[in-house]
Amino acid sequence: MPAGRPPKPIEQHRRTGTFDASRHSRRGPLVAVAAIDLSPYELEAAEVFRHIMEAGAPWFAMTDGIRLAMLRESLEERARLMTHAEASTETRKALRDLNREISDWLTALGFDPSARARLGLAEVKAQSELEKMQNKRDTKKP
């Protein structure tokens, strides 16, 4: 029989503001995505994916690995379709559908303001009347 409560997920600590890296360290690599050999038309997709990994590193969890792998595959497929986009109407339609899919993956991974707010990474705060007056006064100063 285990003693005590199970630990809270790191994401919950981040949402509540109680995350401390020294106490809540991860038990493995952040996200493991298998390395692949890139053909020339996939280099741009790989660069985009690298930027996504760097930007999202603060909030990605181990459970995001599958989504990240599917996003990477979608970006690679988009790169292949871009080389043939002028070939046919079906290819252009597939490219538009894939762009929507990529946008959905990015939203699911926290790359829009509402998704970050759901993750507890962005705080939306309405300005008080005092702050509005102070900002107005500060903008009028020469």
Q: State yes or no: pLDDT of 103 exceeds 60.
A: yes
From residue 73, how far is each of 12, 52, 68, 141 by CA, in Å? 29, 13, 9, 52
**Predicted pLDDT at 140:** 72
Q: Using 50, 70 and 90 to split pLDDT, how confident is the model at 127? A: low
Contact yes or no for 19/10 (Cβ under 8 A): yes
Range 13-26 average pLDDT: 74
Better pLDDT: 19 or 45: 45
Please report, for the chain, how many H helices and E strands are present, in that order: 6, 0
pLDDT of residue 101: 92
Contact 127, 135 (CB under 8 A): yes
pTM of the full structure: 0.54
pLDDT-based confidence at residue 34 (cuts at 50, 70, 90): low
Beta strands in the chain (DSSP E): none
